[in-house]
């Protein structure tokens, strides 16, 4: 579940968005060419501009999706999520080594304390037969972590952790070019979601 905050440029409203509804919002935004910025905390910000009919000037509008379960993934959490994303079957199982269940992702085993962190942050969801899947929040967190920004002292050069370097005359231009990069990343993310995942989300 997400908290959905809508900013119309002149007013702000807040509601609740289920995982299926959040996915619909992201797909609609992608189809309309809106900028989608995934957040490491598992949410996303959708931004677009509309012409104000009264002033005839462009107004920035946005929808912010914030997970209702607080998430602050560590590098270890993200590493575990990447492993889970890379295998077809993930299960929560009992083992002889621990008193608590572990996450079994292929041949990889995530111990109880780390498994509990992932579950508590809303990154995993039980499906049929105790199978686990990554939530939309987890996938947003992973793509955001892959594209973290770093700046030079004067903010005219920005680097993305994916390897992209942005050089500009001033900080405003650097911000704009980095924002365009993140918007492309967000669109690619939504388009890359496979049918199996979207069907699992729709069944919630």
Give me the percent of the chain exceeding a pLDDT of 90. 65
Q: What is the pTM of this model?
A: 0.91
pLDDT tens-digit series, residues 143-190: 999 999 888 888 898 899 998 898 999 999 999 999 999 999 999 999
CA dist 48 and 58 (Å) reads 10
pLDDT tens-digit series, residues 64-113: 999 999 899 999 999 999 999 999 889 988 887 878 889 999 889 999 99
Long-range contacts of 148-157 (CB under 8 A, 24+ apart): 148/40, 149/178
3-state helix, strand, coil in the chain (%, to 5): 35, 30, 30
pLDDT tens-digit series, residues 46-69: 999 887 767 777 888 999 999 999
Angle at 124 between CA 123 and CA 128, to 5 degrees: 160
pLDDT tens-digit series, residues 19-55: 999 999 999 999 999 999 999 999 999 999 887 767 7
Q: Spell out the residues 6+ positions from residue 45 whose beta carbon is closer than 8 angstroms to its own.
A: 36, 37, 39, 62, 63, 64, 65
CB atoms within 10 A of CB 67: 25
pLDDT at 136: 96
pLDDT at 129: 62
């Amino acid at each position: 579940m997400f908290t959905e905050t809508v900013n119309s440029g002149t007013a702000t409203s807040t509601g609740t968005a289920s995982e299926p509804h959040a996915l619909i919002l992201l797909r609609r935004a992608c189809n309309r060419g809106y900028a989608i910025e995934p957040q490491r905390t598992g949410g996303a910000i959708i931004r677009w501009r509309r012409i104000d009919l009264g002033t005839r000037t462009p107004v920035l509008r946005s929808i912010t999706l914030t997970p209702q379960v607080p998430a602050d993934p560590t590098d270890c959490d993200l590493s575990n999520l990447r492993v889970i994303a890379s295998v077809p079957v993930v299960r929560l199982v009992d083992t002889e080594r621990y008193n608590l269940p572990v996450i079994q992702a292929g041949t990889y085993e995530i111990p109880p304390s780390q498994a509990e962190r992932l579950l508590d942050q809303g990154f995993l969801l039980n499906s049929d037969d105790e199978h686990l899947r990554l939530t939309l929040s987890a996938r947003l967190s992973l793509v955001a972590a892959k594209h973290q920004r770093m700046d030079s002292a004067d903010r005219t050069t920005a680097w993305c952790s994916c390897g992209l370097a942005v050089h500009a005359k001033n900080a405003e231009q650097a911000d704009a070019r980095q924002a365009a990069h993140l918007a492309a990343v967000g669109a690619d993310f939504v388009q890359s979601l496979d049918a199996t995942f979207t069907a699992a989300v729709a069944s919630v």
